[in-house]
Amino acid sequence: LKHCGYYAMRAVRIEKFYAFWGQDLDSHTTPMECGRGFRCKMKSDIPFIGREALQEQLDEGIKKMFVMLLMDPIDHSIDLDPWPWGGEPIYRNGKFCGTVTTASYGFSIKKQICLGFIKDFDEDGNTKNIGPEFIKNAEFEVNIGGTLYPAQCRLTPPVLPKKVMLEGPGDFQSHRHNLY
């Protein structure tokens, strides 16, 4: 058993694309906007507060979408470049489309990860409906300290390794066989 610390828990949840209440999500975010619509019982007859509003979003579409942005480790050096922390602007094809809510270094995939919301703005600055097709065939960048860094935009977490050796293969020994 080792101390892992608060920021280790933060890094692990961001790698798994788990949203955090108060930083990623707030009372103005719906399950449909943050990709958690499957948690609502929309196909059942069970009534709940907000059901009509969620059904409206299912029927008409959403105006913002929660995404994961994986920073390219070649273009963004963890040793030389500033790290994202939250609040950084997100650009799609050179046009502002959202803001990073939280970020962390992903130890198992060895790159910076940003979570945030993106929107599709028209010429007048009004938001349009958005869907998964908005991120396909688009180039995303995150502005960190005035520099635009390329990022891969995702709606699902990357496949993570089953076990990560942070201290080297010789440092880990299973003691399970001693229990029986």
pLDDT score, position 5: 72
Minimum mean pLDDT among 26-40, 73-87, 124-138, 165-179: which range? 165-179
pLDDT, tens digit, 9 for 90 and up, residues 58-104: 999 999 999 999 999 999 999 999 999 999 999 999 999 999 999 99
Across 141-153, average pLDDT: 97
Q: Is the pLDDT of residue 123 over 60?
A: yes
pLDDT score, position 13: 87
pLDDT score, position 179: 46
Q: How confident is the model at residue 177 (pLDDT cuts 50, 70, 90)?
A: very low
pLDDT score, position 168: 55
pLDDT, tens digit, 9 for 90 and up, residues 149-174: 999 999 999 888 776 555 555 554 44
pLDDT score, position 36: 87
- Residue corresponding to tokens 């070649």: 74
Q: Is the pLDDT of residue 8 over 80?
A: no
pLDDT score, position 172: 46
Backbone angles phi, psi at 57, to 5 degrees: -65, -40
Return the exposure string of 13-41: e unless at least 16 CB atoms fall within 10 Å of the residue's CB, then b.
Answer: bbbebebeeeebbeeebbbbbbbeeeebe
Closest CA to 115 of 148, 149, 151: 151
pLDDT score, position 77: 93
- Residue corresponding to tokens 């499957």: 38
**Mean pLDDT, the chain, integer:** 87
Whole-number Cα distances in Å, 34 to 44, 85, 113, 148, 155: 21, 20, 17, 25, 9
pTM listed for this prediction: 0.83
Partners of residue 67 on adjacent β-strands: 116
